[in-house]
């Protein structure tokens, strides 16, 4: 395959996916979103595997990447439904944190234009937690739409990766089949070409005296 083929395009897509996954992983860590953190970590491993398979012409690794690309699309569709409150899901639930904590998306308090203010508790109110009340005002965009944009970008790139991965697997398989057909894996190709019996026979010579 040439440098401008689908293989090079797939390498670029995998690299872009790694950058986007790392960026998303950082913000999920900041928001203590444990389910996305684990999923992103597994996604990074599979993308690296697909990138290695593409560079080293390993179709089996690319097939694993292709299957994961479909699952990755399904996961991001679920995240979109979660933040848009579709199908009985609620963005205010603790589903993405495994009910371990009450944290929400990092963008809910640090979105573009958001002003975060901490309001101390009233003097006569005592609770077991020492957290202050936090109010967020002036956000240019609600945090759920930022999360939806992230997931939509992931879906778009994953679909491109799925298409090009199928193409690359098909191209590599065809190359291997054609190589086998012309005897590329014959361990002794030179001994099967132009084998002719020798017409020169050695005969004993007798000298008369």
Alpha helices in 58-199 (DSSP H): 59-83, 107-110, 143-181
Instruction: Confirm if 177 and 106 have CB atoms less than 8 A apart.
Output: no
Q: Which of 55, 44, 52 is nearest to 20 (CA)?
A: 44
What is the predicted pLDDT for the residue at 1? Answer: 47
Q: Where are the domains of the chain?
A: 1-88+144-176
Local confidence band at 124 (pLDDT 50, 70, 90 cut-offs): low
Overall average pLDDT of the 85-98 stretch: 88
Overall average pLDDT of the 115-136 stretch: 62
pLDDT > 50? residue 170: yes
Instruction: Confirm if 165 and 7 have CB atoms less than 8 A apart.
Output: no
Average pLDDT over all residues of the chain: 82
Local confidence band at 113 (pLDDT 50, 70, 90 cut-offs): confident
What is the predicted pLDDT for the residue at 182? Answer: 52
Least confident residue range of 16-20, 36-40, 57-61, 195-199: 195-199
State the Cα–Cα distance between residues 2 and 10, nearest whole angstrom.
13
> Considering just the CA atoms, what is the radius of gyration of the chain in Å?
31
> How many other C-beta atoms lie within 10 A of the C-beta of residue 65?
27
């Amino acid at each position: 395959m040439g440098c401008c083929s689908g293989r090079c395009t797939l390498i670029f897509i995998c690299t872009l996916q790694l950058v986007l996954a790392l960026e998303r992983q950082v913000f999920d860590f900041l928001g203590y979103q444990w389910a996305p953190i684990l999923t992103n970590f597994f996604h990074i491993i599979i993308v690296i595997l697909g990138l290695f398979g593409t560079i080293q012409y390993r179709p089996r690794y690319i097939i694993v990447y292709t299957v994961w690309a479909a699952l990755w699309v399904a996961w991001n569709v679920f995240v979109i439904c979660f933040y848009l409150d579709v199908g009985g899901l609620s963005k205010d639930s603790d589903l993405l944190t495994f009910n371990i904590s009450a944290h929400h998306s990092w963008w809910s308090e640090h979105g573009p234009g958001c002003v975060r203010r901490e309001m101390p508790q009233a003097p006569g109110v005592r609770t077991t937690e020492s957290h202050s009340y936090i109010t967020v005002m002036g956000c240019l965009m609600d945090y759920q739409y930022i999360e939806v944009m992230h997931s939509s970008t992931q879906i778009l790139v994953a679909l491109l990766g799925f298409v090009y991965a199928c193409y690359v697997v098909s191209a590599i398989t065809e190359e291997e089949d054609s190589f086998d057909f012309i005897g590329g894996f014959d361990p002794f190709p030179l001994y099967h070409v132009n084998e002719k019996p020798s017409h020169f026979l050695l005969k004993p010579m007798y000298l008369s005296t």
